[in-house]
C-alpha cells in the first residue's frame, strides 16, 4: 500500500485552531524554561529538545480522544501537555524532585498514568513502546473499549528490531494502533541517508501491508487532519497506520551536543519553516487570532509557567528512605487491578467454542484473500470453487483440480 | 483422583484460571491451533477462542511487549516462550521495560512468562538452557522453578494471580516423566516459599526443578550409609526463601547446593554468600556446589551427561561434606 501524501485541510472550529496554537506555544515555552533551568544547573540529567517539531507532538495527540492511550517519546512533551499533563510534572521530573510523578526515580518524560490519563511511560531503548502499545490496543479491543493506542518513533528508532516485531504483530492482529514516525533527519549525528536505503520512511509500511501517510511535520493543521483520519480508521478496525512526519531536529541530540555535523544550509532551510511562526501567520491571515487574544494567551502561559516552575524549584529532592520502596506491587493494598469491561463479559465467559476473530484477513484459511489466486491454503481447508475467469492458462493453473490435488498432498 | 503429569498440571492451571477469570489470556508462538510445541495449551483455543488464545509471529520481543501492554489494561496475560532459550530474544523488553515499571512509574504488570527449560533431553545448546539467573539478577521480577506436578499447578495459579511479572520455568525433562496425585479443585502454592522434601540432620541439600529429584535420589543412597540429608526444594528463586534455608542450615550446620544451571553466577553462589553473612558461625564446613559445567549445553549424549550433575556427583559431594 503506497504512502498517501497528505493534503488534507479539514475545517476546525475556531477554538480548535486556537487550541493547537496554545499547545504548541506551551510546548515551546516549557522547553525554553527548562533550557534556562539547565543553564542554571538545575536539571539533573540530560535535556532533550523538540524545537521545531512541536507541530507533530501537538497535532497528533490532539487527534486522540480522552479514552485513547498514548506513549510519548523523549521529544513528545507536547503530546503530554495535550493529554492533560501539567507543566509542573515536566519540570519536577527533569529536576528529579520528590513531587514529580516518579518521585525522582526517573527523569525527563519517563512517567505515565494508567488510571486517568492513559499514558504509558517510555524507556530509553527505542522501539520498545511499539509492541507494548500494540498490546494496549489489543486489550482495549478485547475489553470492548473502542480505544486507539498511539506512540511515536524517530527515523533512528525505526531501524530497531523491535520496531519490526511490533509493527508486524500489530498488522497481523489488525490492532487499533497509530504509529507516528518523526523523521527529523538525524539520529544523534547520523543522517537518514546513512541509516536507511529509503527516501520515504513511510515505505516501511509496505513490509507490513498497512496504510501509511506522509505529512509535512511543520504544518500543524495537516498533521492534525492526517492523524485524525488515521485514528478514525484505526478505531473503525482498519488496522494499524503509520504516519511519517517530515521535519528537522533544530537542536543537538541533547543540550550537550552543538550538532556541528549538521550542514549550515539544511539548518537555514528549516529555520525559515518554524511550525509556530508558520501557523501564527496563518491564524492572523485567517483572522482566527488577533493581537489582543495573542497577548492574553501569552500572559496566561507566562503566569502558568512561572507558578509551575516555582513549585518545582521549591520542591525537595526525594528522601533516601524511599530508595527501596516500590520494586514490587504488594497486592490489593498497592494496586487494585481491575479490567474495565465495556462489552458483556458473557461474550467471553463462560467459555464458548472457538469464535472467529473479526480482524483476521478476509478469506484466511479458505484459499482466498486480497492476494487473489495466490492465497495459501491453510491446514486442510477446502479451497473455494473458482467461478469466474474459466479461460486461459492461469485459469487452468488456479482451477479446482490442481488445487484440490495439492491440498490432498498436504499443502503446497 | 488420578495421578497427572507435570505437563498436565500446567495445562490444568491455565485452563482453570482462564475459566475462572476472563482477564487471563494466553499469547505465544503456536499456542493456539497447534496447542503449543509440547501441547501444554492443547484444547485452550477450542475452549476459549481466538481473542484469548493468541498465536503470534516469531517475535519474542513483541510477545513480551504486547503482554505487558495488555497487563496495563487489567488483563493477566500468560506469555509462552516456545523454548525458554528464546526468552533471551526478549531480554531487553523484560529487564528494561517490564521489570522496572512498578518501581519507576508505579505501573504494575501482572503477567506470567513461562516456557520449557532445562536439559537432559539432548536438545542441544539452544533448546536446553537454564537462563533463570539473568532474571534473578533483575529487581522487579519474580522467578519460579517448580519440581512437582502439585507445585507446578499451584505455583502457576499463584503466578497468574500475582500483580508482578513472574517468570515461570518448566523443566521439560519432568513434563512427562513424573506423575503425582493432586487434589481436585482450586488451590495455590505461595510464591517465595521453599519446602522441606526430606528431613535430615547431617547436612542440607538445597535444590530445585529436575535436580530436586536427583538430590532426593542421592539422599536415599546417603541414608544407606548413615548420612541423613535434609533436602529442600527452593521452588521460587526470586524472592529467595532465606528463612527456610537458614533454619535448616542452622540445624545441620552443612550445606550443599545442587542446580542444573552452570556454576559461575548460579544461585549456589548467592546462597553461599547469604550463608556467610547470616550463618557463618553455624557452618561446620564449606558450602559446596554441584552444578553443570561452565560451558554451553553440549549436544552429544556423552557430553551432556558429563556436563550435567547427577545423583553420583551429588552423593560424592555430600559424602565429602559429611566428613567435616
**Which residues of B are known catalytic residues?**
127
Averaged pLDDT of chain B: 97
What mean pLDDT do residues A63-74 have? 97
Q: Give tens-digit pLDDT for A245-259.
A: 999 999 999 999 999
d(CA B168, CA B151): 12
In percent, how much of chain A has pLDDT > 90? 81
What mean pLDDT do residues B140-159 have? 98
Q: Which fold has domain B3-181?
A: Rossmann fold (3.40.50)
Q: Where in chain B is the domain with CATH 3.40.50.920?
A: 195-322
Contact: B73, A340; criterion CB under 8 Å: yes
- pTM for the whole structure: 0.91
Chain A contact set for B69 (CB, 8 A): 120, 131-139, 149
Q: Is the pLDDT of residue A390 over 50?
A: no
CA distances from B271 to A208, B265, B268 (A): 48, 11, 5
| pLDDT, position A347 | 84
| pLDDT, position A348 | 84
Touching check for B190 and chain A: CB below 8 Å?
Answer: no
User: Which residue of chain B has the CA closest to A346?
Assistant: B22
Touching check for B34 and chain A: CB below 8 Å?
Answer: no
Q: Is the pLDDT of residue A380 over 50?
A: no
What mean pLDDT do residues A232-244 have? 97
Chain B contact set for A106 (CB, 8 A): 104-105
Cα atoms in the Cβ-side hemisphere of radius 13 Å centred on A24: 28
Touching check for B66 and chain A: CB below 8 Å?
Answer: yes
Averaged pLDDT of chain A: 88
| pLDDT, position A151 | 98
d(CA A109, CA A91): 10
Contact: A337, B110; criterion CB under 8 Å: yes
Smallest Cα distance from B54 to chain A, Å: 9
Residue A376: phi and psi, rounded to 5, are -70, 155
| pLDDT, position A400 | 38
> Is residue A16, in this structure, part of any structural domain at all?
yes
Q: What angle do CA A208, A358, A127 make, to 5 degrees?
A: 35
> Is residue A92, in this structure, part of any structural domain at all?
yes
Beta strands at B203-207 and A186-187: parallel, antiparallel or unpaired:
unpaired
Chain A contact set for B49 (CB, 8 A): 348, 351-355, 357
Give the position of cell 483422583. Answer: B1
Chain A contact set for B165 (CB, 8 A): none
Task: Give the mutation candidate from A130, A176, A328, A348 for the B interface (greatest B CB count, under 10 A).
Answer: A328
> Is residue A291, in this structure, part of any structural domain at all?
yes
User: Which residue of chain B has the CA closest to A139?
Assistant: B70
User: Which residue of chain A has the CA closest to B109?
Assistant: A329
| pLDDT, position B286 | 98
> Is residue A318, in this structure, part of any structural domain at all?
yes
* Chain B (107-166) residues lying within 8 Å, Cβ to Cβ, of chain A: 107-108, 110, 139-140, 142, 163-164
Q: Give tens-digit pLDDT for B62-85.
A: 999 999 999 999 999 999 999 999
| pLDDT, position A8 | 54
Q: Is the pLDDT of residue A356 over 60?
A: no
Q: Give tens-digit pLDDT for B231-277.
A: 999 999 999 999 999 999 999 999 999 999 999 999 999 999 999 99
Nearest to A139 among B70, B103, B142 (CB): B70
Q: Give tens-digit pLDDT for A48-66.
A: 999 999 999 999 999 999 9
Contact: A354, B64; criterion CB under 8 Å: no
Contact: A105, B59; criterion CB under 8 Å: no
Range of the domain at A68: 3-322
d(CA A274, CA A24): 11
| pLDDT, position A409 | 38
Touching check for B47 and chain A: CB below 8 Å?
Answer: yes
Q: Give tens-digit pLDDT for A114-135.
A: 999 999 999 999 999 999 999 9
Question: Is the model more confident about B205 or about A397?
Answer: B205
- Out of A95-109, A283-297, A354-368, which region has the weakest mean confidence (pLDDT)? A354-368
Q: Which three cell numbers stand for residue B171?
A: 523443566
Q: Is the pLDDT of residue A382 over 80?
A: no
Q: Is the pLDDT of residue A6 over 80?
A: no
Chain A contact set for B51 (CB, 8 A): 142, 348, 355, 357
Q: How confident is the model at residue A11 (pLDDT cuts 50, 70, 90)?
A: confident
Touching check for B20 and chain A: CB below 8 Å?
Answer: no
Chain B contact set for A137 (CB, 8 A): 69
Q: Is the pLDDT of residue A366 over 80?
A: no
Structural domain total, chain A: 1
Contact: A353, B105; criterion CB under 8 Å: no
> Is residue A137, in this structure, part of any structural domain at all?
yes
Q: Give tens-digit pLDDT for B10-57.
A: 999 999 999 999 999 999 999 998 899 999 999 898 888 889 999 999
- Residue B256: exposure state from Cβ atoms within 10 A (0-12, 13-18, ≥19): buried
Q: Is the pLDDT of residue A4 over 90?
A: no
> Is residue A345, in this structure, part of any structural domain at all?
no
Task: Give the mutation candidate from B25, B70, B73 for the A interface (greatest A CB count, under 10 A).
Answer: B73
> Is residue A71, in this structure, part of any structural domain at all?
yes
d(CA B126, CA A146): 41
- CATH code (residue A267): 3.40.50.970
Chain B contact set for A110 (CB, 8 A): 104-105
Contact: B69, A102; criterion CB under 8 Å: no
What is the ipTM score, two decimals? 0.97
Contact: B18, A351; criterion CB under 8 Å: yes
| pLDDT, position B50 | 87
d(CA B160, CA B188): 10
CATH code for the part of the protein at B195-322: 3.40.50.920
In percent, how much of chain A has pLDDT > 70? 82
| pLDDT, position A376 | 41
Q: Give tens-digit pLDDT for A269-301.
A: 999 999 999 999 999 999 999 999 999 999 999
Q: How confident is the model at residue A240 (pLDDT cuts 50, 70, 90)?
A: very high
Q: How confident is the model at residue A387 (pLDDT cuts 50, 70, 90)?
A: very low
Q: Give tens-digit pLDDT for B278-322.
A: 999 999 999 999 999 999 999 999 999 999 999 999 999 999 999
Amino acid at each position: 500500500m503506497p504512502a498517501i501524501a497528505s493534503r488534507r485541510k479539514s475545517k476546525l472550529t475556531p477554538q480548535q485552531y486556537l487550541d493547537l496554537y496554545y499547545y504548541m506555544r506551551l510546548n515551546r515555552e516549557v522547553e525554553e524554561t527548562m533550557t534556562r533551568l539547565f543553564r542554571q544547573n538545575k536539571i539533573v540529567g540530560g535535556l532533550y529538545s523538540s524545537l521545531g517539531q512541536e507541530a507533530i507532538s501537538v497535532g497528533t495527540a490532539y487527534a486522540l480522544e480522552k479514552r485513547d492511550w498514548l506513549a510519548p517519546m523523549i521529544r513528545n512533551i507536547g503530546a503530554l501537555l495535550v493529554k492533560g499533563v501539567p507543566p509542573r510534572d515536566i519540570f519536577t521530573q527533569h529536576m528529579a524532585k520528590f513531587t514529580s510523578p516518579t518521585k525522582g526515580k526517573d527523569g525527563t518524560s519517563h512517567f505515565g498514568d494508567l488510571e486517568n490519563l492513559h499514558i504509558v511511560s517510555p524507556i530509553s531503548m527505542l522501539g520498545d513502546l511499539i509492541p507494548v502499545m500494540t498490546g494496549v490496543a489489543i486489550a482495549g479491543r478485547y475489553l470492548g473499549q473502542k480505544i486507539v493506542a498511539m506512540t511515536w518513533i524517530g527515523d533512528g528508532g525505526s531501524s530497531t528490531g523491535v520496531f519490526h516485531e511490533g509493527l508486524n504483530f500489530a498488522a497481523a492482529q489488525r490492532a487499533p494502533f497509530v504509529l507516528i514516525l518523526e523523521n527529523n533527519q538525524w539520529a544523534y549525528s547520523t543522517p537518514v541517508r546513512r541509516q536507511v536505503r529509503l527516501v520515504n520512511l513511510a515505505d516501511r509500511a509496505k513490509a507490513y501491508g498497512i496504510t501509511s501517510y506522509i505529512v509535512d511535520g511543520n504544518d500543524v493543521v495537516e498533521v492534525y487532519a492526517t492523524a485524525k483520519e488515521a485514528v478514525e480508521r484505526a478505531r473503525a478496525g482498519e488496522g494499524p497506520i503509520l504516519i511519517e512526519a517530515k521535519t528537522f531536529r533544530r537542536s543537538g541530540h541533547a543540550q550537550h551536543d552543538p550538532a556541528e555535523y549538521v550542514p549550515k544550509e539544511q539548518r537555514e532551510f528549516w529555520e525559515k519553516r518554524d511550525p509556530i511562526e508558520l501557523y501564527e501567520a496563518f491564524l492572523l491571515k485567517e483572522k482566527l487570532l488577533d493581537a489582543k487574544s495573542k497577548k492574553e494567551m501569552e500572559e496566561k502561559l507566562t503566569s502558568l509557567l512561572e507558578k509551575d516552575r516555582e513549585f518545582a524549584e521549591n520542591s525537595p529532592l526525594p528522601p533516601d528512605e524511599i530508595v527501596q520502596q516500590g520494586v514490587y506491587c504488594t497486592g490489593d493494598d498497592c494496586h487494585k487491578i481491575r479490567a474495565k469491561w465495556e462489552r458483556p463479559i458473557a461474550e467471553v465467559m463462560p467459555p464458548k467454542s472457538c469464535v472467529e476473530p473479526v480482524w483476521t484477513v478476509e478469506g484466511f484459511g479458505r484459499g482466498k484473500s486480497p492476494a487473489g489466486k495466490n492465497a495459501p491454503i491453510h491446514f486442510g481447508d477446502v479451497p473455494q470453487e473458482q467461478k469466474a475467469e474459466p479461460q486461459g492458462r492461469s485459469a487452468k493453473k488456479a482451477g479446482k483440480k490442481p488445487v484440490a490435488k495439492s491440498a490432498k498432498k498436504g499443502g503446497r | 483422583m488420578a495421578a497427572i503429569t507435570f505437563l498436565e498440571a500446567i495445562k490444568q492451571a491455565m485452563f482453570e484460571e482462564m475459566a475462572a477469570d476472563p482477564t487471563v489470556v494466553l499469547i505465544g508462538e503456536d499456542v493456539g491451533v497447534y496447542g503449543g510445541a509440547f501441547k501444554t495449551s492443547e484444547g485452550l483455543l477450542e475452549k476459549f477462542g481466538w481473542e484469548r488464545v493468541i498465536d503470534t509471529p516469531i517475535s519474542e520481543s513483541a510477545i513480551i511487549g504486547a503482554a505487558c501492554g495488555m497487563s496495563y489494561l487489567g488483563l493477566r496475560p500468560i506469555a509462552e516462550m516456545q523454548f525458554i532459550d528464546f526468552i533471551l530474544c526478549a531480554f531487553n523488553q523484560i529487564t528494561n521495560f517490564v521489570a522496572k515499571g512498578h518501581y519507576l512509574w508505579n505501573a504494575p504488570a501482572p503477567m506470567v512468562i513461562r516456557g520449557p527449560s532445562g536439559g537432559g533431553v539432548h536438545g542441544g545448546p539452544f533448546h536446553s538452557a537454564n537462563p533463570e539467573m539473568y532474571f534473578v539478577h533483575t529487581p522487579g521480577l519474580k522467578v519460579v522453578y517448580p519440581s512437582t506436578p502439585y507445585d507446578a499447578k499451584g505455583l502457576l495459579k499463584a503466578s497468574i494471580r500475582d500483580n508482578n511479572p513472574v517468570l515461570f520455568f518448566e523443566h521439560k525433562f519432568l513434563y512427562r516423566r513424573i506423575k503425582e496425585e493432586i487434589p481436585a479443585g482450586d488451590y495455590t502454592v505461595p510464591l517465595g516459599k521453599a519446602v522441606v522434601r526430606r528431613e535430615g540432620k547431617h547436612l542440607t541439600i538445597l535444590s530445585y526443578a529436575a535436580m530436586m529429584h536427583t538430590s532426593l535420589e542421592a539422599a536415599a543412597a546417603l541414608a544407606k550409609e548413615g548420612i541423613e540429608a535434609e533436602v529442600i526444594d527452593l521452588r521460587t528463586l526470586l524472592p529467595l526463601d532465606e528463612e527456610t534455608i537458614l533454619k535448616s542450615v542452622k540445624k545441620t550446620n552443612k550445606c550443599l547446593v545442587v542446580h542444573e544451571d552452570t556454576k559461575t553466577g548460579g544461585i549456589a553462589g548467592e546462597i553461599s554468600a547469604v550463608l556467610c553473612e547470616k550463618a557463618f558461625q553455624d557452618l561446620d564446613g564449606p558450602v559446596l556446589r554441584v552444578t553443570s559445567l561452565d560451558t554451553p549445553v553440549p549436544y552429544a549424549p556423552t557430553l551432556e551427561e558429563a556436563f550435567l550433575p547427577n545423583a553420583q556427583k551429588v552423593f560424592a559431594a555430600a559424602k565429602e561434606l559429611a566428613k567435616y
